[in-house]
Amino acid sequence: MAKNFQDFVRSMPPESRARAMAKADAMLAEMPLQEVRRARGLSQALLAEALQVSQPSIAQMEKRTDMYISTLRSHIRAMGGELDVIARFPEGDVRISNFSDLSESTGKETLAEPLS
């Protein structure tokens, strides 16, 4: 007889449940581009239509390990998100701002801004 998943989770020892939740959170926080698209409920064809490109070009883009930041930004925006480029240092994180669009520019020459 199949068990209800929630019943199974409730029966787990608290330490096991905490480890499982931490692993699930880590997996959700880091995904390949195609998994982000799927999680957003979008097909390659729908995304291609939004970006005005062919579906095969979406498939190729999702397999790439290197691409322009502007390409990635448009891909993320077509899925309803925003892209931030953040450098992580021992002293703290810094959002790299020289990749922002001209329309978003504040007129400042700031290339990096510390995150609070």
Residue 78, C-beta contacts closer than 8 angstroms, at least 6 positions apart: 47, 50, 51
Where in the chain are the domains?
1-30, 32-82, 84-116
Q: What global pTM score does this model have? A: 0.62
Own/partner pairs, 42-46, CB within 8 angstroms, 24+ separation: 42/79
Q: CA–CA separation, 1 vs 6, rounded Å?
A: 15
- Written as tens digits, the pLDDT of the chain (116 aa) is 566 878 888 888 989 888 888 887 777 677 889 999 998 999 999 999 999 999 999 999 999 989 999 899 999 999 999 999 989 899 999 988 887 653 444 443 334 445 55
CA 83 to chain centre: 8
The CATH number given to 32-82 is 1.10.260.40
Q: CA–CA separation, 17 vs 50, rounded Å?
A: 40
